């Protein structure tokens, strides 16, 4: 039988020391680049033969077993590769962490087919995990269009599965810098209000009564109070859509620049109008997670982008706050 172009055949022989293991677990170790989920799917599709016969995932391998694995070519990505500059903050053989700029959509969706992070990834990397679908190569989590900062991208299926599991178990630590309107009290706290779709404005999320939304947990500390604004260090324990924006808007403290949730288009301090900030003041500044393929804790940081640093300096000057004290406070919390 002629195999499809790009199909790869792997053959392994079971040693005496490996006898007795389940077939799926044995192959997970033997083919480290594939996830257990992927291997189980190959077995179910009869793309794995033990001594020329199909077998079940629970089959116990024996010394001398000859195992043949048919690996189909990866699905063709339905993306147009685009040479969009990428800022790569961390990279190894299993994953990379990129710093997404504000204004960039993470992957194609309604009305958006180009200029996304996914288009850029498709151009620079030939091999990325397709677990999330052809339009989301390697993408494990997301950021809003006007939020900048760190995103983790999986290069292979094993890394994608392990990272996704960490996100679902809430083991990934995600810290943001946010500037909100108004003084936040107490200076350190937690917000636990459930979040759900707005009943009227379907593009918005909103705080919902208990039992009518999904649980959401936001932890925060005030880094600096600048006039009638609060610069925050925020950790989200859940990953609800618009979580930080919704939680602080519900407190009457919307994120600067977030007109959808109540912030004015331009910031005024007394009679002075600051230059327009054409984005949210929200930045994914730090992420910590367990490496998906080895025993190592990864912590990656991204300082505030230049446009946010400039806006802070302008705000501090307008409010009579020394800029160097704000800079020190931001650095201390990174």
Q: Residue 35: inside a domain, yes or no? A: yes
What kind and span of H or E run contains 246? helix 243-250
| pLDDT band per the 50, 70, 90 thresholds, residue 80 | confident
| Distance separating alpha carbons of residues 40 and 48, to the nearest angstrom | 9
Average pLDDT over residues 269-295: 93
Taking alpha carbons only, the member of 95, 221, 105, 88 closest to residue 155 is: 95
CATH number reported for the structural domain that contains residue 160 in this entry: 3.30.2350.10
| Distance separating alpha carbons of residues 197 and 95, to the nearest angstrom | 33
Residue span of the structural domain in which 194 resides: 173-288+303-332
Residue % of the chain over a pLDDT of 70: 93
Q: Residue 293: inside a domain, yes or no? A: no
Task: Tell me the pLDDT tens digit for each residue of 106-141.
Answer: 988 767 778 899 999 988 887 776 666 666 778 899
Task: Tell me the pLDDT tens digit for each residue of 187-231.
Answer: 999 999 999 988 888 789 999 988 888 999 999 999 999 999 999
pTM as predicted: 0.78
Q: Residue 79: inside a domain, yes or no? A: no
Handedness of CA 137, 258, 224, 184 (dihedral sign): negative
How many domains in the chain?
Answer: 3
| Distance separating alpha carbons of residues 86 and 103, to the nearest angstrom | 14
Residues carrying an active site annotation: 144
**pLDDT higher than 60, residue 76:** no
Q: Residue 147: inside a domain, yes or no? A: yes
CATH number reported for the structural domain that contains residue 31 in this entry: 3.10.290.10
Given 135, 168, 201, which residue is the final one in a domain? Answer: 168
SS3 118: helix
For residue 112, what pLDDT is reported? Answer: 77
| 268 DSSP β-pair partners | 273
| Distance separating alpha carbons of residues 180 and 282, to the nearest angstrom | 9
The answer to whether residues 315 and 216 belong to one domain is yes
| Distance separating alpha carbons of residues 291 and 299, to the nearest angstrom | 10
| Token pair 């331009």 in the structure block, residue | 266
Q: Determine contact, residues 35/158, Cβ cutoff 8 Å.
A: yes
Residues 6+ apart with CB under 8 A from 264: none
Average pLDDT over residues 295-318: 95
Top-confidence residue, 24 or 73? 24
The answer to whether residues 314 and 231 belong to one domain is yes
Residue % of the chain over a pLDDT of 90: 60
The answer to whether residues 196 and 264 belong to one domain is yes
Taking alpha carbons only, the member of 85, 155, 82 closest to residue 115 is: 82
Top-confidence residue, 137 or 274? 274
Q: Residue 298: inside a domain, yes or no? A: no
For residue 2, what pLDDT is reported? Answer: 45
**pLDDT higher than 70, residue 6:** no
């Amino acid at each position: 039988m002629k195999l499809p172009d790009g199909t790869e055949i792997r053959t392994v022989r079971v040693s005496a020391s490996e006898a007795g293991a389940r077939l799926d677990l044995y192959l997970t170790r033997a083919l480290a680049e594939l996830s257990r989920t992927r291997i189980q799917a190959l077995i179910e599709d009869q793309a794995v033969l033990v001594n020329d016969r199909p077998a079940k995932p629970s089959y116990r391998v024996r010394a001398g077993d000859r195992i043949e694995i048919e690996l189909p070519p990866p699905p063709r990505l339905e993306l147009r590769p685009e040479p969009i500059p990428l800022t790569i903050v961390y990279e190894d053989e299993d994953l990379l962490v990129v710093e997404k700029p504000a204004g960039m959509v993470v992957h194609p969706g309604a009305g958006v087919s180009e200029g996304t992070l996914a288009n850029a990834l498709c151009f620079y990397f030939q091999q990325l995990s397709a677990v999330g679908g052809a339009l989301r190569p390697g993408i494990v989590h997301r950021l809003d269009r006007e939020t900048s900062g760190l995103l983790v991208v999986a290069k292979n299926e094993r890394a994608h599965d392990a990272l996704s599991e960490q996100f679902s178990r809430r083991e990934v630590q995600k810290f943001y810098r946010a500037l909100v309107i108004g003084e936040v009290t107490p200076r350190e706290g937690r917000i636990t209000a459930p979040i759900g779709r707005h009943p009227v404005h379907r593009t918005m999320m909103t705080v919902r009564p208990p039992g009518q939304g999904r649980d959401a947990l936001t932890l925060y500390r005030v880094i600096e109070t600048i006039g009638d604004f609060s610069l925050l260090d925020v950790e989200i324990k859940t990953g609800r859509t618009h979580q930080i924006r919704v939680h602080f808007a519900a407190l009457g403290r919307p994120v600067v620049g977030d007109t959808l949730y109540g912030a004015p288009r331009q910031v005024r301090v007394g009679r002075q109008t600051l230059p327009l900030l054409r984005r949210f003041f929200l930045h994914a500044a730090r992420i910590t997670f367990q490496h998906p393929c080895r025993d190592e804790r990864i912590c990656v940081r991204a300082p505030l982008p230049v446009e946010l640093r400039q806006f802070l300096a302008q705000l501090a000057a307008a409010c009579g706050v020394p800029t160097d004290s704000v800079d020190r406070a931001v650095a201390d919390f990174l």
